[in-house]
Structures are given as structure tokens and as C-alpha cells.
Amino acid sequence: MCTGSAGCRPSQTARAAMPELLPGDVLLRVGAARAVLRPQAGGRVCSLTLVHPDGHAVPVLYQYTDAGVDSLNWAKGGIYPLVPYSNRIAQGQLHTANGTVALPPHPNAQPHTLHGHAHVLPWTVVTHDDMSAHLRLDSPACAAWPWHLQADMCFRLTAHALQLDLSLTHLGAGDMPAGIGFHPYFLHHENARLRYHAGRRWLTDVGCLALGSEPLSQPEGYDAPKPLAPGMLTDYLSEWDGALELELPQGEVLGLQTDAVLSHLVVHRPPQPLYLCLEPVSHVADGFNLAVRGVPGTGAVLLPSGGVLRGQMTISLSDRRF
């Protein structure tokens, strides 16, 4: 997420205690590990506490505390799904082989769209027990996305990790541009160290649209743990190996792993480092339009009718320290 999203309002200050459970919430628990899911708020994970291997409980997310979700000015916090695309589509104009599709711009990213619509719609609970849950969204063709889609999220909690599986199924006719990802808000402090490996960084314009990529040089990279540059930043990265480590405020090391579908990474921090967004996604911002223009490496996918795009993310705690 880039500076154009600044109008989205922050949620309340992060708290270590589990948030109040609301009607419709799903609580997953394994020992002291807890995950609160809010299907009615776009399938969002509101809070996540994992158990460190030495036995103490560690909150890892900047909490989401709103009961629902504002369809335009959504509060920040937790984890929400990015479906049927991540980030922006330039000018609200989606160029396809069959012509241009007009999509409504988002007020905080004018004149572009932002993050799809799945995270502002209520999801249904298919199944759940103490350790796992399956949520589903059925979204017929609409102004926000003129293709019929189904999205499924499956969650599995253990003491030390939360696994999230996300799938997007095209239920309409013809080919559908498709993208998926996750948008987590991790607890953060300005001197926290981060480690990841990515091969390329994308250049952007003032509207946070990707233009093209360049190799990420060793001095600029994060192959060895180090703090981010001070202040607000947003990086679009690709050829990411699907693994990263983040130092949490009390020194524990959080790990994030994805499968090969989520090979792009967005790193975003606001001016005040209350949280850090580390977003595994399948494509770069405006990737569909860039691909139509012949730009390589965008991650853009076209799903045939009945086609499915799947991705997985696991958040965990390890016993190592930087």
C-alpha cells in the first residue's frame, strides 16, 4: 500500500490483550495461541497471538477493532485478503484482449482503484473448530468487478504458527484477470530489523503505480537483517523467495513464508511506525495493464472459466534472535 491510501483511518492503539469477541466472530485457540476472525468485516483476522518456543505468548498484529468495515474508508489493522487483485489499477481502466473495463476509482487513490472489493464484503463461515476455519465469499458480477468469482480462505492455527490458504475461482464466462494476496499489519518499531531476499525492485510514479523493474543491488537489499530507512516508505519487490523475518517490538523474530504464487512483496510503513505492512501478493501494482503493454515479470494471470488461483502464507515464531 502506498501514500495514496493515507486517507484510510487508523484503528485503535494496538493492545496485547485479545480484543472483545463480537457476534459472528470466530475464535481459534491452541493453548495460549489465539486468532480472532471477523467474517462480517471482509474475512479479516483481527488479532493474532502466537506462543514463543520458550513458552510466552506474543501478539504479532496491530489489532483491528472495528465491528464491521467501511466500504471506502476502511480502518487499518489485522490481516485482510486481497481479491481479485492487489493494489491499484491505473485510472480505473482495466485493459483486456476484449476491450477496456471501467472500474470505480477509490477516493483515497484517485483516479485509480485500490485493493479490490473482497475485503469490504461479508464472508460466510463454511466450517470451523477450535484450530481451523473455512470462510467463503460468493461475489456475482458487479460494478467493482464485472466477473462472477468465489473466494475461499482456510485458516489453521498451531501454538507457534497460523497458516492461511487463499483461493480465487472464476465462475463467469471467458477469461478473467486474477490476482490474490494478503495485507497484514504487523506490530513495529522504527529500529526493528527485517530480512528478505528479492531479485528486483519496481520503479513507481507519484501515484504509486509500477512502471518497470530493475535489479535490486546487494547494498540496497535486505539479505542480512537491518532496519528500514527512517520515515514513510513503500517498496514493490519481485523475484522474492517467499521468506522473510521481522524483529518484533520485544525482540522476538517473526517468520513469514509463502508459496511460489505469492512471489511479489509490498513493504509499506506509514510516517508514524505504529505498524509495518509486509504484503505477499501474486502481482505488482497495475500488473494487468503492464502485462498487456508487454512489460515482463508483472505476475498478471488470466483465469479461464472455472480456473482457480491459489496461494498460501504462514506466519510463525521461532526461537532465534537477530
Domain encompassing residue 91:
81-317
User: What residues contact residue 5 under an 8 Å CB cut-off, 6+ apart?
Assistant: 108, 109, 114
pLDDT for res 17: 57
Please state the rounded mean pLDDT for residues 67-83.
91
Q: How many folded domains does the chain comprise?
A: 1
- pTM across the whole model: 0.94
Q: Does residue 215 lie in a domain region?
A: yes
Query: Could you read off the pLDDT of 128-146 as tens digits, one per residue?
Result: 999 999 999 999 999 999 9
**Strand ranges (E), 158-249:** 161-170, 176-178, 181-187, 193-204, 210-215, 222-227, 233-247
Query: Could you read off the pLDDT of 240-257 as tens digits, one per residue?
Result: 999 999 999 999 999 999
Q: Does residue 41 lie in a domain region?
A: no
Q: Does residue 67 lie in a domain region?
A: no
Q: Does residue 85 lie in a domain region?
A: yes
Q: Does residue 187 lie in a domain region?
A: yes
Q: Could you tell me the CATH number of the domain that includes residue 92?
A: 2.70.98.10
Q: How far apart are CA 284 and CA 275, in angstroms?
A: 22
User: What residues contact residue 75 under an 8 Å CB cut-off, 6+ apart?
Assistant: 8, 9, 10, 11, 64, 65, 66, 69
Residue 67, by phi and psi: left (phi above 0), alpha (psi -120 to 50) or beta? alpha
- By the 10 Å C-beta count (0-12 exposed, 13-18 middle, 19+ buried), 175 is classed as middle
- By the 10 Å C-beta count (0-12 exposed, 13-18 middle, 19+ buried), 54 is classed as exposed
Question: Would the pLDDT of 74 be above 90?
Answer: no
Q: Does residue 28 lie in a domain region?
A: no
pLDDT for res 9: 41
Q: Does residue 38 lie in a domain region?
A: no
Query: Could you read off the pLDDT of 13-38 as tens digits, one per residue?
Result: 444 457 789 999 999 999 999 999 99
Average pLDDT, the chain: 93
Which of the four pLDDT bands, split at 50, 70 and 90, describes residue 101?
very high
Q: Does residue 36 lie in a domain region?
A: no
